[in-house]
Amino acid sequence: MSAPLPKLSATELARYSRHILLDEIGIEGQQVLKAARVLVVGAGGLGSPAALYLAAAGIGTLGIADLDCVEEHNLQRQLLHDTPSIGKAKIASAAERIRTLNPHVKVLEHGDGITSDNATEVFANYDVIVDGTDNFTARYVNNDAAFQTRKPLVFGSVFKFEGQVAVFDPARGGPCYRCLFPEPPAAGSVPGCGEAGVVGALCGVIGSLQAMEAIKLILSIGESLVGRLLTYDSLRQQFQTLRLSRSPTCRLCGDNASTAVEESSGSQTIVETPSEGAENDYPLEISVLEANKLRVAKPEKTILLDVREPWETEICRVEGATFIPMRQIPENVGSLSDKAHVLVLCHHGSRSRTVTKFLRSHGLAAVSNISGGIAAWADQVDPTLARY
């Protein structure tokens, strides 16, 4: 026997009156929303509008999962947070904002984020999962845990001026994320917003659409995006809908798939073959700690090559670095010594990886990419560097 729906107070009736006026919602529908439990994974660009609109809609229990802290560059798009929040845990900032917006909502804070170790346990306590993450590893973790716990997953992504929304729900006949993208792309092959950029208002559009899909799922109204991918081009102001089918060969939800999810949950080990002529003494990837150790121990035999744009180096820079923007690398190959170990640095490691491979293919064997870029350098080597 299902539990009775929670009653609405006079204050709640007034607050949600515009919902109650809708035939598709009414008082009973608002009670259903109050009884619902929704988890928003990521309190960032997508999670901000999604969480705000879900809280405003009267979702009774709203979980927020994130393990990062608020940084100034977040504020261009992450509207859960404000300038006084800089330095605070996103989870704390988000919870405070939501409780201020709607004190009738119970906010649950998951400050450790969602990992392959805790995902299924956390997801089991919610009705709908809203994925507001911004990296492939997290998306596969969320997808696989949602499949295991039979929870609908409201997916969203943004890139520059374009966005996508879908609902992955194999338990109700739809495909999962792996049906669309069976494996993660090679590390560094797809830049994130930290490398490619994203317009802030786009996050508002996509995150709001995710909130709308979650509300429709909870109320069982309208036609959800199960089995469909909604794409949005903000420059052309154009939406398109693509049909998605469950893949019979999907290793997670396909006909012969195992229900066991790998512990890595989407991560993969990338083994790259060095370019011809590269020596084993010079790895393709190097950590910021290793890079800093090398340049301190052997300054005369090490070149720290920063390939970011000039405006980026005005925000922060590593003392002693050589600055050549990536677009100018081809004309400056001859200026780099083949007798020194060139350590290539960018913002997060994507552009520098491209430059590393280019230099190796043009005869410089002693070249290594600094994994994580100057963002990792600020985290692990020099916390005085400004983040962006």
pLDDT tens for the chain, residues 1 to 388: 578 999 999 999 999 999 999 999 999 999 999 999 999 999 999 999 999 999 999 999 999 999 999 999 999 999 999 999 999 999 999 999 999 999 999 999 999 999 999 999 999 999 999 999 999 999 999 999 999 999 999 999 999 999 999 999 999 999 999 999 998 887 666 777 877 889 999 999 999 999 999 999 999 999 999 999 999 999 999 999 999 999 999 999 998 876 544 433 333 322 233 333 334 479 999 999 999 999 999 999 999 999 999 999 999 999 999 999 999 999 999 889 888 999 999 999 989 999 999 999 998 999 999 999 999 999 999 999 998 9
Strands 128-131 and 153-159: parallel
Last residue of a domain, one of 183, 210, 243: 243
Nearest C-alpha neighbor of 130 from the set 30, 218, 40: 40
User: Which tokens is 4 given?
Assistant: 């009775």
Query: Which amino acid belongs to residue 75?
Result: L
Q: Are residues 224 and 338 in the same domain?
A: no
- Residue 155 domain-assigned? yes
Q: Are residues 238 and 325 in the same domain?
A: no
Last residue of a domain, one of 243, 277, 299: 243
Count of structural domains within the chain: 2
Q: Are residues 191 and 335 in the same domain?
A: no
Nearest C-alpha neighbor of 374 from the set 300, 310, 313: 313
**Cα three-residue angle 160-162-168, rounded to 5 degrees:** 125
- Residue 273 domain-assigned? no
- Residue 267 domain-assigned? no
User: Which tokens is 252 given?
Assistant: 């997670």
Q: How far is residue 129's CA from residue 152's CA, in Å, rounded to a whole number?
A: 6
Q: Are residues 193 and 112 in the same domain?
A: yes
Last residue of a domain, one of 243, 275, 297: 243
- Four-CA torsion 310, 316, 322, 325, nearest 10 degrees: -30
- Residue 271 domain-assigned? no
Q: Are residues 297 and 232 in the same domain?
A: no
Q: Are residues 238 and 367 in the same domain?
A: no
Nearest C-alpha neighbor of 75 from the set 52, 99, 43, 51: 43
- Residue 254 domain-assigned? no
pLDDT number for residue 195: 79
Torsion sign (Cα): 218, 223, 228, 231: negative
Q: Are residues 203 and 105 in the same domain?
A: yes
Q: How far is residue 113's CA from residue 111's CA, in Å, rounded to a whole number?
A: 5
Torsion sign (Cα): 148, 149, 153, 159: negative
User: What separation in angstroms does the CA of 340 have from each of 223, 252, 324, 352?
Assistant: 61, 47, 16, 17
Q: Range of 139's domain? A: 36-243
If you count them, how many residues does the chain have?
A: 388
Q: How far is residue 94's CA from residue 104's CA, in Å, rounded to a whole number?
A: 15
Report the CATH number at residue 350: 3.40.250.10
- Residue 265 domain-assigned? no
Q: How far is residue 123's CA from residue 145's CA, in Å, rounded to a whole number?
A: 7
Query: What are the backbone dihedrals phi and psi of residue 172, each rounded to the nearest 5 degrees, phi first?
Result: -115, 30
What is the 8-class DSSP label of residue 355? H
String of DSSP letters for 73-140: GGGGT-TT--GGGTTSBHHHHHHHHHHHH-TTSEEEEETT---TTTHHHHHTT-SEEEE---SHHHHH
Q: Are residues 226 and 314 in the same domain?
A: no
Q: Which residues are catalytic?
A: 193, 346
Q: Are residues 194 and 58 in the same domain?
A: yes
CB atoms under 10 Å from CB of 387, counted, come to: 17
Q: How far is residue 211's CA from residue 40's CA, in Å, rounded to a whole number?
A: 10
Return the bridge partners of 89, or none. 69
Q: How far is residue 312's CA from residue 15's CA, in Å, rounded to a whole number?
A: 46
- Residue 266 domain-assigned? no
Q: Are residues 214 and 306 in the same domain?
A: no
Task: Report whether 340 contacts 334 (CB < 8 A).
Answer: no
Q: Are residues 82 and 179 in the same domain?
A: yes
- Residue 4 domain-assigned? no
Report the CATH number at residue 166: 3.40.50.720
Q: How far is residue 76's CA from residue 309's CA, in Å, rounded to a whole number?
A: 20
Task: Report whether 344 contacts 307 (CB < 8 A).
Answer: yes
What is the separation of C-alpha 266 from the centre of its chain, rounded to a whole number of angstroms?
14
Task: Report whether 110 contacts 145 (CB < 8 A).
Answer: no
Q: Are residues 93 and 213 in the same domain?
A: yes
